[in-house]
Amino acid sequence: MGEEWGNVQLEDLYEQYSDAIFRFVLLHTGDSQHAEDITQEVFIRAYKGLGQFEGRSSYKTWLYTIARNTTHDFYRKKRPIAFLPSFFQNQPEVTEMTPSEIAELGEGVALLYEALSKLKPHYREIIVLRQIKEFSIKETAEVLGCSEAKVKSTTHRAMAALKKELNVEGFQHESVQS
Amino acid sequence: MNPFKADLELKKKLQQLNKVSRDTKAKQMTWSKIERKTVRMNWWDKMRRRLLHPIVIGPAVAFLLLLIIPNSFFNENSPSPHSSDQEIESDGMVMMDQGPLTNDEDDSPVESMKGSEEIDDKDYLDVLAYDVQTESDFENFYQFIQTETVADVGDEYKNTILNLLEDLDQLIKLKYMEEIIDLAQYLDPAFYENYPALLYNLFETDPMEFLNGLTEIDMGSEEVIVSSLTQYGKEKNKLSDMLSKIKHHIGDKSLLNNVERRRWNDLVAALGYEKYAGTDVEGEVLQKSEEVISFLMDDFSGLASFIHQEQGIQILNNPDKKSGLLFSRAEINSMEEVSIVSPLGKQLDMKKDEENLTSNELADETSQHLLDVVSLKYYQDIPNHPDELSTIHQEYPAGLYAEFQPKDMQNDHNEGNAFQLIFEDQEGTWYLVGIIMEGLLDSILESS
């Protein structure tokens, strides 16, 4: 009974959140196949943890927390290069979308994506959560496992870094000020 | 023009990134895979529960105990029948003699395993330590430390990682200053006390980035950081270096942020204080300050001998030079004939009927009730001007000032009632170049 309940819950969660989780992961990886794989892993981990979920946070922040950790784990396992000598390091950049995916975004947004992908990872994730996913400060703090004050200060810094990057990309003049 | 318009536009554009479509077929396939895996997990779960059922596990454990206990009991209590270096096990296998038992070998299998895991961890961390050479490496390292709860590891590992942070490339330190401080604090919440060398190293890399990077530090810890840094600088005879590095950035517009500005001022004040604490300079300036104060209350013209011969003296309402007037030494000397009651005297007027006091009694009264706090500082935020960049140090870069604060105002933190005497060095002697005291200038102008 419990398992069936678990499966039903998982399917509900998948229906409700999988698209959002997929896009969240995609914004970090830039690769839709990896994003699908990670999304799959997220829901398997959620299934394993469903029995221990105490409802102290919402399902949404809980799943995003799993998604964040799974994304980190995925790339750490996939890219031991960072921890190994330099001859292993000729690997492709993680955040590269396919041409069709970039085209789909439109020129202005594609530039924005490029700028976003050049930010420090924790700046990128805070922008994704606060500005793109529109999480509250409290929700963002839950997902990132930090204080609300830290979320505020990091968001401010991250947005400043993004604007700086956009100026480099020439985005500011063409898109924002027009 | 609405200053938030650009931000709003940017946010709108950012949200378009959330509209990337997802292939429905891929979505369905992902769910199928999840279903298959969870079904398998269910099966294993059922099996595990069945195997762990007391009816199954009970006899199995009992059987294992029967195998293990008599064997170990026999091994411990009977001498080996074999005198050679080899020992024949009960199953007939021959193994090498392990040598005399040591404390290490007395450890339980769990402990031994834990030990080997620790060695593995250490090796892994050592590998990390030598391979964080690029920005990308650092980003992975940063995520790794935070997701692997490395904070739970022992002091040896903390040292390894904190040493790594100290040895990072300058460019990485510059770009990731905030993250480095964050990591160090994560590993040891009191790293700024326990690892002053790392603290100093980060400060030295770029004082501005360092102070800006202290985002998560509360005010209490900030005091500890300032104290730790200045003590370290003092021990290593680097206070002058630190001051000159920090002076290089004074006036930077990015310091307008209140929090960062407070950190900046606190650090420079502490550095300045430490630099002169206990020196002859401090003694000279403090002694002269006390004498100047007695002249301010009694004989204004007596100030002349303390005044800088070339620069004269500025009487200011606040540290902004525009708020005051410049007087030469001769001009102050000529005030002998003019009766000036300085605000210092006026304050006493209001407090006591000092006309009935002798000058000695007046001086005692003053030191007892009015001028309780005397400190020598190099630089401090402007009283009542928290948003301005004009500071005593900016106006008087070579100056030292002694600050006096009325005793009864101490608890109110009413800095506006404090006043400062600013001195500058002229060929080894410190002369008065400025007095910042609200109302003093008006008194002089009214009287003359």
Q: Are residues A61 and A90 in the same domain?
A: yes
For β-strands B313-316 and B429-436, DSSP reports them as: parallel
Q: Are residues B134 and B169 in the same domain?
A: yes
Q: Are residues B136 and B237 in the same domain?
A: yes
For residue B328, is it within any domain?
Answer: yes
* Option in A27, A36, A153 nearest B30 (CB): A36
> Which chain B residues touch A111 with a CB distance below 8 Å?
none
Range of the domain at A52: 1-96
Q: Are residues B213 and B290 in the same domain?
A: no
Can you tell me the distance from the alpha carbon of B158 to that of B207, in angstroms, rounded to the nearest whole number? Answer: 24
For residue B66, is it within any domain?
Answer: no
* Option in B14, B15, B140 nearest A82 (CB): B140
Q: Are residues A54 and A112 in the same domain?
A: no
**Among B230, B252, B276, where does a domain finish?**
B276
Shortest Cα distance, chain B CAs vs residue A53, angstroms: 17
Range of the domain at B286: 280-447
Q: Are residues A144 and A156 in the same domain?
A: yes
Of the pLDDT bands very low, low, confident and very high (cuts 50, 70, 90), residue B241 is: confident
Q: Are residues B234 and B150 in the same domain?
A: yes
Q: Are residues B315 and B256 in the same domain?
A: no
Q: Are residues A146 and A75 in the same domain?
A: no
- Residues B9-68 pLDDT 10s: 888 888 888 777 788 888 988 998 888 888 877 777 777 767 777 777 777 788 888 877
Q: Are residues B211 and B145 in the same domain?
A: yes
* Option in B17, B21, B136 nearest A113 (CB): B17
Can you tell me the distance from the alpha carbon of A177 to that of B432, in angstroms, rounded to the nearest whole number? Answer: 54
For residue B381, is it within any domain?
Answer: yes
Chain A touched by B179 (CB under 8 Å): yes
CATH number at residue A62: 1.10.1740.10
Run of H or E residues at B342: none
For residues B37 and A44, is the Cβ–Cβ distance under 8 A? Answer: yes
Can you tell me the distance from the alpha carbon of B215 to that of B262, in angstroms, rounded to the nearest whole number? Answer: 13
> Which chain A residues touch B180 with a CB distance below 8 Å?
none
Q: Are residues A126 and A136 in the same domain?
A: yes
Q: Are residues A53 and A133 in the same domain?
A: no
Q: What mean pLDDT value characterizes chain A? A: 75
Other CB atoms within a 10 A radius of the CB of residue A37 amount to 18
Which residues are CB-neighbours of B40 under 8 A, at least 6 positions away?
Answer: none
What is the number of domains present in chain B? 2
**Among A96, A125, A160, where does a domain finish?**
A96
Closest alpha carbon within chain B to A162: B10
Which residue from B395, B416, B398, B418 is spatially nearest to B407, judged by alpha carbons?
Answer: B418
For residue B400, is it within any domain?
Answer: yes
* Option in B13, B144, B178 nearest A175 (CB): B13
Q: Are residues B288 and B433 in the same domain?
A: yes
Q: Beta strands of B195-322 (E only): which ranges? A: 313-316
Q: Are residues A34 and A106 in the same domain?
A: no
For residue B379, is it within any domain?
Answer: yes
**Among B249, B276, B303, where does a domain finish?**
B276
Q: pLDDT: is B447 or B246 the higher one? A: B246
Q: Are residues B184 and B323 in the same domain?
A: no
Helix (H/G/I), strand (E/B), else coil: B132: coil
Can you tell me the distance from the alpha carbon of B241 to that of A11, in angstroms, rounded to the nearest whole number? Answer: 63
What is the number of domains present in chain A? 2
Helix (H/G/I), strand (E/B), else coil: B83: coil
> Which chain B residues touch A120 with a CB distance below 8 Å?
139, 176, 179
* A148-169 vs A107-117: helix crossing angle, rounded to 10: 120
What is the three-state SS of chain A? Answer: CHHHHHHHHHHHHHHHHHHHHHHHHHHHHCCHHHHHHHHHHHHHHHHHHHHHCCCCCCHHHHHHHHHHHHHHHHHHHHCHHHHCCHHHCCCCCCCCCCHHHHHHHCHHHHHHHHHHHCCCHHHHHHHHHHHHCCCCHHHHHHHHCCCHHHHHHHHHHHHHHHHHHHHHHCHHHHHHCC
Q: Are residues B271 and B291 in the same domain?
A: no
Helix (H/G/I), strand (E/B), else coil: B307: strand
Can you tell me the distance from the alpha carbon of B365 to that of B77, in angstroms, rounded to the nearest whole number? Answer: 89
Q: What angle do CA A45, A117, A177 make, to 5 degrees?
A: 130
Structure tokens at A20: 């959002």
- Per-residue pLDDT averaged across B223-228, rounded? 87
Q: Are residues A103 and A92 in the same domain?
A: no
Shortest Cα distance, chain B CAs vs residue A10, angstroms: 9
CATH number at residue B336: 3.10.450
Shortest Cα distance, chain A CAs vs residue B133, angstroms: 9
CATH number at residue A175: 1.10.10.10
**Among A66, A96, A126, where does a domain finish?**
A96
For residue B315, is it within any domain?
Answer: yes
For β-strands B419-426 and B400-406, DSSP reports them as: antiparallel
For residue B21, is it within any domain?
Answer: no
- Residues A46-95 pLDDT 10s: 888 877 777 777 888 989 999 988 888 777 665 443 333 332 233 334 44
Structure tokens at B2: 């609405």
For residue B52, is it within any domain?
Answer: no
Contact: A10, B34; criterion CB under 8 Å: yes
pLDDT at A1 over 60: no
Q: Are residues B175 and B260 in the same domain?
A: yes
**Among B245, B276, B307, where does a domain finish?**
B276
Q: What mean pLDDT value characterizes chain B? A: 71
Q: Are residues B344 and B425 in the same domain?
A: yes
Q: Are residues A11 and A62 in the same domain?
A: yes
Can you tell me the distance from the alpha carbon of B258 to that of A125, in angstroms, rounded to the nearest whole number? Answer: 27
Complex ipTM: 0.78
Can you tell me the distance from the alpha carbon of B426 to that of B310, in angstroms, rounded to the nearest whole number? Answer: 9
Q: How far does Cα B152 stand from its chain's mean position? A: 23
- Where on the phi/psi map is residue B184: left (φ > 0), alpha (ψ -120 to 50), or beta? alpha
Chain A touched by B128 (CB under 8 Å): yes
Contact: A83, B31; criterion CB under 8 Å: no
Chain A touched by B10 (CB under 8 Å): yes
- Residues B149-201 pLDDT 10s: 555 666 667 777 888 888 888 888 888 898 899 888 888 888 888 899 999 99
Q: Are residues A9 and A61 in the same domain?
A: yes
pLDDT at A21 over 90: yes
Can you tell me the distance from the alpha carbon of A134 to that of B357, in angstroms, rounded to the nearest whole number? Answer: 71
Q: Are residues B290 and B427 in the same domain?
A: yes
**Among A96, A125, A146, where does a domain finish?**
A96
Can you tell me the distance from the alpha carbon of B274 to that of B237, in angstroms, rounded to the nearest whole number? Answer: 11
Of the pLDDT bands very low, low, confident and very high (cuts 50, 70, 90), residue B345 is: low
